[in-house]
Structure 1
Amino acid sequence: MVLLDTYEAGYTLGKLIGGFLTIVLMGGIYFLPSIIGRKKRQAMSIFALNLLLGWTVLGWIGALIWAMSSDTPQVVVKPVVHTPVSVADELTKLQALRENGTLSETEYQQQRQRLLNQPA
């Protein structure tokens, strides 16, 4: 009887551990889309779809595809701020370009005339 009780206790413990491991494995498979998509911007939406509709195989496949798709970059529009540049600053830049040989004397004179003829 003692041997039988030990056998039954071991068998029950084995079934308990096996059942627990099965639940963990099945849970991991069920939430695989959420695990894959956890670093996406829409991770909570993927998790919600997976949790609520994952039991319908179509919902699970949809969540998996969404989790594996590329994350579209967020577009940030920055306004362009034009800082007014004085004519004197532009002339100084032109003179530096002429002195280091980037602009020829003719090009320098043309650009200088263009700057001086601009309306204020």
Structure 2
Amino acid sequence: MLISLLLTAYDAGYLIGRFLGAVLVGAIYFLPTILARKKRKSTQIFLLNLLAGWTGLGWIGALIWAVSSDTQQTVPVRIVGTASMADELTKLQALRANGSLSEEEFNQQRQRLLNQPA
């Protein structure tokens, strides 16, 4: 009875040891993925780690990629030239002077410009 109980405890310990060993090996195998979880290209690093990590070279490549710094992506900013209020009023006066705008239309457009937030 005692021997049977000891063997059962040994088998249980052996299973726990195997399980913990498998978790440790899995954590080491997916170390590049764990390190890259906050990077922009974490999915690509995971796929490289999963599909080519077993080669050793793929694992090292994924690890280097995971610990390297992200390059800043530059976004081109388009600068839109905006005319000043004085320029707009000058254009409206020119349109009124050549007859393209009536006095009423000129006053409406001028009020629209003056009421705009700066």
Deviation at 1:5, TM superposition (A): 0.7
**Distance in 1 separating the partners of 2:80 and 2:22:** 58
Q: Partner of 1:55: helix, strand, or coil? A: helix
Deviation at 1:87, TM superposition (A): 4.7
Q: Which runs of 5+ in 2 are unaligned?
A: 88-118
- Letter of the 1:66 partner, please give it: W
**Distance in 1 separating the partners of 2:44 and 2:22:** 24
**Distance in 1 separating the partners of 2:34 and 2:76:** 31
Residue equivalent to 1:80: 79
Query: Under a length normalisation based on structure 2, what TM-score does the superposition of the two structures give?
Result: 0.71
| 1:87-108 per-position Cα deviation (integer Å, ceiling 9, x unaligned) | 57xxxxxxxxxxxxxxxxxxxx
Deviation at 1:76, TM superposition (A): 1.3
**Distance in 2 separating the partners of 1:43 and 1:75:** 19
**Percent identity for Structure 1 against Structure 2:** 55
| Superposition pairs of residues 11-26 of structure 1, within 5 angstroms | 11-26=10-25
Residue equivalent to 1:29: 28
**Consecutive aligned runs of 4 or more in structure 1 exceeding 4 Å deviation:** none
| 1:10-50 per-position Cα deviation (integer Å, ceiling 9, x unaligned) | 00000000000000000000000000011111000000000
**Distance in 2 separating the partners of 1:12 and 1:86:** 85
- Letter of the 1:47 partner, please give it: F
Q: Partner of 1:49: helix, strand, or coil? A: helix
When the two chains are superposed, the root-mean-square deviation of aligned CA atoms in Å is 1.5
Query: Under a length normalisation based on structure 1, what TM-score does the superposition of the two structures give?
Result: 0.69
**Distance in 2 separating the partners of 1:71 and 1:64:** 14
Q: Which runs of 5+ in 1 are unaligned?
A: 89-120
Q: Partner of 2:65: helix, strand, or coil? A: helix
**Distance in 2 separating the partners of 1:76 and 1:27:** 38
- Letter of the 2:57 partner, please give it: L
**Distance in 1 separating the partners of 2:74 and 2:58:** 29
